[in-house]
Amino acid sequence: HSCELCGKGFRLQRMLNRHIKCHSQVKRHLCTFCGKGFNDTFDLKRHVRTHTGE
């Protein structure tokens, strides 16, 4: 499975689906610490750890 926008390849369709969101300008999930936006809740949670040290 490959991304039609950038050519990056993925073994699983669900991983491609998740990746495609990174090309969107809409960032629905915002960090309450710094305001940085993310397309995916997993990415937001990983980012928040940079503030909390968890």
Q: Which residues of 17-30 are buried (b: 16+ CB within 10 A; e: fewer)?
A: eebbeeeeeebebe
Q: If you average pLDDT over residues 19-24, what whole number do you get?
A: 87
* Whether the Cβ atoms of residue 16 and residue 31 lie closer than 8 Å to each other: no
Is 25-54 a CATH 3.20.20 domain?
no
- pTM of the entire structure? 0.63
Is residue 10's pLDDT more than 90?
yes
> What does the domain layout of the chain look like in residue ranges?
25-54
Q: If you average pLDDT over residues 30-54, what whole number do you get?
A: 94
Q: If you average pLDDT over residues 28-50, what whole number do you get?
A: 94
Cα–Cα distance measured from residue 39 to residue 44, given in angstroms and rounded to the nearest whole number = 8
